[in-house]
Amino acid sequence: MKMRYGTALPCLALTSCLASAAFAAAAAAAPAAASLHAWEAGEDPAGLERWVHAHIQQADADIARVVAVKGGHTIANTLRPYDDAVNELSLAGSQSQVLYGVGATRELRDKAQALTQEANAALIALSLNQEVYRALAALPAPPDGATRHYLEHTLLEYRLAGVDRDDATRARIKALQDRITELGLTFERTVHDDVRSVTVEKSQLDGLPPDYLAAHPADASGHVKITTDPPDAWPAQKFASNAQLRHDLYLAADSVGYPANGETLRALLSARAELAQLLGYATWADLAMADQMIGSPARLNEYLQKIDAATREPAAREDAALLAFAREREPTLEKIPRPDAGYWREQYRRAKYNFDSQSVRPYFPYASVERGVLATAARLFHVEIRAVSGVHTWHPSVTTYDVYDGKTRLGRIYLDMHPREGKDKWFSTQPIAPGVRGRQLPEGTLVCNFPGGAAGDPGLMQYSDVVIFLHEFGHLMHHLIGGQQPYAGEGAFNVEGDFVEAPSQMLEEFFHDYGVLASFAHHYQSGEVLPQELYARMIRADAYGRASGEQRQLMYATISLDFHTLPPATLDFDAVYRRDFERFSAEAFVPGDHMWASFTHLNGYSSNYYTYVLDKVIALDFFSQFDAHDLLGGPAGMRYRRTVLAPGATEPAAQLVRDFLGREPNLDAFRRWMLEEFEPVTASSAVR
Beta bridge partners of 225: 199
DSSP assignment letter at 35: P
Non-local CB neighbours of 503 within 8 Å, separated by 6+ positions = 474, 475, 477, 478, 619, 644, 645
SS (H, E, C) 126-148: HHCCHHHHHHHHCCCCCCCHHHH
pLDDT grade, residue 384 (50/70/90)? very high
Residue 33, pLDDT score? 58
State the chain's mean pLDDT as an integer: 93
Please give the backbone phi and psi of residue 386, each rounded to the nearest 5 degrees, phi first: -110, 135
- Going along the chain from its start, the domains and CATH numbers come out as 20-163 (1.20.1050.40), 195-253 (no CATH)
Q: What is the pLDDT of residue 29?
A: 41
pLDDT computed for residue 246 by the predictor: 97
Average pLDDT over residues 182-190: 96
Nearest to 492 by CA among 655, 610, 646: 646
Q: What are φ and ψ of residue 432, in 5° steps?
A: -100, -45
Strands 197-201 and 443-447: unpaired
pLDDT band at 124 (very low <50, low <70, confident <90, very high): confident
Cβ contacts of residue 682 below 8 Å, gap of 6+?
Answer: 514, 532, 536
Q: How far apart are CA 505 and CA 449, in angstroms?
A: 19
Q: Is the peptide bond before 442 cis (omega within 30 degrees of 0)?
A: no
With a cut of 80, say whether residue 6 has pLDDT above it: no
pLDDT digits (tens, 9 = 90+) for 454-475: 999 999 999 999 999 999 999 9
CA 565-286-256 angle, 5° bins: 45
**What distance in Å separates the CA atoms of residue 503 and residue 407, rounded to the nearest whole number?**
25
Would the pTM count as exceeding 0.75?
yes
Task: Say if residues 585 and 552 touch (Cβ distance below 8 Å).
Answer: yes
Q: How confident is the model at residue 126 (pLDDT cuts 50, 70, 90)?
A: confident
**CA angle (278 as vertex; 275, 282 as ends), nearest 5:** 85
Q: Would you list the DSSP string of 206-262?
A: TTS-HHHHHHS---TTSEEEEESSHHHHHHHHHH---HHHHHHHHHHHTTTTTTHHH
pLDDT of 81-118, one tens digit each?
Answer: 999 999 999 999 999 999 999 999 999 999 999 999 99
Q: What is the pLDDT of residues 418-454, one digit of tens each?
A: 999 999 989 999 999 999 999 999 999 999 999 999 9
Q: How far apart are CA 678 and CA 539, in angstroms?
A: 7
Q: Residue 11: is its pLDDT beyond 90?
A: no
* pLDDT tens track for 607-643: 999 999 999 999 999 999 999 989 999 999 999 999 9
| Residue 404: C-alpha distances to residues 297, 408, 505 (Å) | 41, 5, 23
* pLDDT (tens digit per residue) in 585-598: 999 999 999 999 99
